[in-house]
Structure 1
Amino acid sequence: MAARKINPWLKLTLELGPVLAFFVAFTRFKDVSVVVGGVSYGGFILATALFIPLMVLSTVALWRLTGRIAPMQIATLVLVLVFGGLSVWFNDERFFKMKPTMIYLLFAGVLGFGLLRGQSYLALVMEDALPMERAGWLILTRRLAAFFAALAVLNEVIWRTMSDAAWVNFKTFGLTAAIFVFFMAQGRLFKRYGTGDGPEA
């Protein structure tokens, strides 16, 4: 069943809203501690505890409004629940910081597995929005798998060597900007292998 169209600004708000809310909450409460049941929780954990239900609500809202939910969104939500929940439960921010690593390794692994089978799983979820020849999809999938693997490594380096604030800025703005720049850099590929209005190879 085809997804229902919704206002693009509403879609963007639902997709980025939880991440921005996490950033705002961390910025506001990073120097605050709250004692619950004799345990002191810092601003990072408080922001994580806010992020988890917001992520659930935004994902459910997208599903109700569009009539479908992408496998990547489901995988992301599950990892948010698992790693975010572990961070709050054990009062240990490291679990949540590892979440992007797990997400990007999962995406890279799935795309890589498809390539080993001679398939582009990326095409299965994006072909309607971005018509391309098979060769183009295979090239894009190889590049994206490598890109996701690089992001996983970068996330590990940043959270292990830098401050909480540096990691939050990286997660909120750096990852989003990196993905945007990656797809912008694929313009020549889209033009060469596109089967819409672009010229064919």
Structure 2
Amino acid sequence: MTQETTTAPGLERPAAPKKKLDPRLKVALELGPLIIFFIVNSKFGIFYATGVLMVGVLVTLAVSWSVTRHLPAMPVVTALLVLVFGGLTVFLQNETFIKLKVTILYSMFGATLIGALYFGKLLLPIVFDMAIHIDDAGWRKLTWRWGFFFFFLAGLNEVVRRVVTTDEWVNFKVFGILPLTILFAISQAPLIMKHQIPEEEDTPESESHF
């Protein structure tokens, strides 16, 4: 007769910590498809660039999954929209769809973040994959700021895409939206520092009594 093994109460094995991407690899995965999109567009045009971008986002998701065994929400949503609007761009040979993707993506991010606050939910920690540690008041303030910033980017993209050529729009996407996002993120440092909380320290194992 086989003997079943049980885990004594209080001695459950702790869950393995979630693996995180190396910061350098994370930056490469985030910027790689965008840079390749820019290079291919400059040499072969927007339709080839869009096709390469679609492949690029799938590769980044595959690499992220292979390293961490989980996928952050933001890259997944971005990849889905790239595949849908990129597919329409290539199939219909109409660059308007890939330009609209930017507007719709940022509008969705802004509406989702701010809309979740109405129901008392904080989604920004999920978006940032818990890379920073601040209290709930800080997360709420940061959520409002990022939500309105995403709406700003959506509106800015709508203006730019209507008044410039496709090549100029690609330049704006790479050398306009990206620097603006980096500068905005840096500008939030004082708020983050004000509401920062220390990471939870590992508690020492309790002594065993026999």
Task: Report the TM-score range of the alignment, normalised by the length of the smaller protein.
Answer: 0.7 to 0.9
- After TM superposition, list the pairs within 5 Å mapping 1:77-88 onto structure 2: 77-88=79-90
Residue matched to 2:13: none
Change (3 A) 1:123 1:4: closer
Cα displacement string for residues 175-196 of structure 1 (whole angstroms, at most 9, x for unaligned residues): 1111111111112111211113
Cα distance between partner residues in 2 of 1:148 and 1:169: 19
Contact kept, 8 Å, 1:22 with 1:50, in 2: the verdict is yes
Residue matched to 1:39: none
Runs of 4+ in 1 over 4 A off after TM superposition: none
User: Structure 1 length normalisation: TM-score?
Assistant: 0.86
Residue matched to 1:89: 91
Residue matched to 1:173: 175
Structure (1 or 2) with the greater helix fraction: 1
Contact kept, 8 Å, 1:108 with 1:144, in 2: the verdict is yes
Cα distance between partner residues in 1 of 2:140 and 2:77: 22
- After TM superposition, list the pairs within 5 Å mapping 1:34-45 onto structure 2: 43-45=45-47
Contact kept, 8 Å, 2:103 with 2:155, in 1: the verdict is yes
Q: Which of 166, 183, 188 lines up with 1:186 in the alignment?
A: 188
Cα distance between partner residues in 2 of 1:125 and 1:102: 17
Contact kept, 8 Å, 2:135 with 2:195, in 1: the verdict is yes
Structure 1 vs Structure 2 CA RMSD: 1.6
Residue matched to 1:141: 143
- Give the stretch that moved more between structures: 131-140 or 121-130: 121-130
Deviation at 1:147, TM superposition (A): 0.3
SS in 2 for 1:15: helix
Residue matched to 2:110: 108
Residue matched to 2:202: none
Cα distance between partner residues in 2 of 1:56 and 1:192: 37
Residue matched to 2:49: 47
Deviation at 1:125, TM superposition (A): 4.3
SS in 2 for 1:5: coil
* Identical columns (%): 36
Cα displacement string for residues 141-195 of structure 1 (whole angstroms, at most 9, x for unaligned residues): 0010000001001011111111112210111121111111111111211121111
Change (3 A) 1:124 1:91: closer
Contact kept, 8 Å, 1:119 with 1:138, in 2: the verdict is no
User: Structure 2 length normalisation: TM-score?
Assistant: 0.82
User: Which amino acid in the other structure matches residue 190 of structure 2?
Assistant: R
Larger radius of gyration: 2
Deviation at 1:118, TM superposition (A): 2.6
How many pairs does the alignment contain? 184
Contact kept, 8 Å, 1:83 with 1:95, in 2: the verdict is yes
- Verify: 1:9 aligned to 2:27, yes or no: no
